[in-house]
Amino acid sequence: MKTGYMTDGGRRRPINEDAVKVLEDVNFYMLADGVGGNRSGEIASQSALDALEKFIRHNPPEWLEGRDEIFRYLRAAVRYVNQFIIRLSESQQQYAGMATTLTFAYIREDEMFVANVGDSRVYLIHDGIIQQITEDHTYVNDLVKMGAITREQAHTHARKNVITRAIGANANNEPDCFCVPVAAGDRVLLCSDGLYDEVDDDDILSTVSRFDDMMICAEDLVSLANNNGGNDNISVICVNLMEE
């Protein structure tokens, strides 16, 4: 696998509250986006990824067998991170109320396991088709699922950035977990909303498919988002599952 990643403050925000981390030796890829409007979002996002890495290092995933066992592992990891952020938010006044999204992918042989809390996303590009693996935990996505608004209306809704689930927000914060088949030649993309709010799926697909060098791919995606407005922090992790 080849990997590239980048996080950028964008053009409008004074602080970058996104964070990314890649553990190539165990094929874990993780991204967090500090919740806007809450205190210390940049501390929450980086601390969440540091806590997740600590969990993985102390509980190596190689021994896991079967999807159910891996899903239990992913949920345990999220619970650990959630409790860590809650304790951190209680440790100092300036951290009170901190929260963050968290999404991460674990690629193992011909499968990818994904866990998600919040509205950061994981995409899979396979055979020229882009598929969003995660489901956004947002107020407007709930409205779309209920049929109250269309997906087009969701893009411009006044509350489109209101998330309904976040790490640190409450004591019981279960992730969505997914397992999808992957194959040599596929691409995987993790990103914060600063990318997909500015760059549509077709342009993401075109960019990710165009490059073999994933660092150049990551840089190009960030540039696209900034050129289209850069209204939020932008973070991406690009993975190329190379042909043998």
Phi, psi values for residue 67, rounded to 5° = -65, -45
Mean pLDDT score of the chain, rounded to an integer?
91
What local confidence, expressed as pLDDT, does residue 145 receive?
A: 73
What local confidence, expressed as pLDDT, does residue 177 receive?
A: 97
Residues 6+ apart with CB under 8 A from 205: 125, 128, 129, 130
CA distance 33 to 193: 8
SS3 at position 39: coil
What local confidence, expressed as pLDDT, does residue 162 receive?
A: 79
What local confidence, expressed as pLDDT, does residue 205 receive?
A: 97
Phi, psi values for residue 35, rounded to 5° = -70, 125
What local confidence, expressed as pLDDT, does residue 150 receive?
A: 64
Domains contained in the chain, number: 1
Yes or no: say if 17 and 233 are a contact pair by the CB < 8 Å rule: yes
What local confidence, expressed as pLDDT, does residue 99 receive?
A: 94
pLDDT in tens, 29-43: 999 999 865 568 999
pTM, 2 dp: 0.94
What local confidence, expressed as pLDDT, does residue 39 receive?
A: 67
CATH code of the domain containing 101: 3.60.40.10
Q: Among 14-18, 33-37, 115-119, where is mean pLDDT lowest?
A: 33-37
What local confidence, expressed as pLDDT, does residue 228 receive?
A: 97
Element (H, E) at 119: none
What local confidence, expressed as pLDDT, does residue 161 receive?
A: 72
pLDDT in tens, 195-225: 999 999 999 999 999 999 999 999 999 999 9
Span 157-170, mean pLDDT? 80
Span 6-19, mean pLDDT? 95
pLDDT in tens, 45-94: 999 999 999 999 999 998 898 999 999 999 999 999 999 999 999 998 88
Q: How confident is the model at residue 129 (pLDDT cuts 50, 70, 90)?
A: very high
Report the side by side order of strands in the sheet with 176-181.
Answer: 18-23, 28-33, 102-108, 111-117, 176-181
Q: Which domain holds residue 154?
A: 2-240
pLDDT in tens, 90-106: 998 888 889 999 999 99
Copy the structure tokens of residue 230.
Answer: 């850069």
Span 153-164, mean pLDDT? 71
Instruction: Return the ∠ at Cα 191 (arms to 235 and 85), rounded to 5°.
Output: 80
Span 152-160, mean pLDDT? 65
Using alpha carbons, list the distances in angstroms from residue 239 to 1, 28, 38, 153, 212.
7, 11, 31, 31, 10
pLDDT in tens, 226-240: 999 999 999 999 999
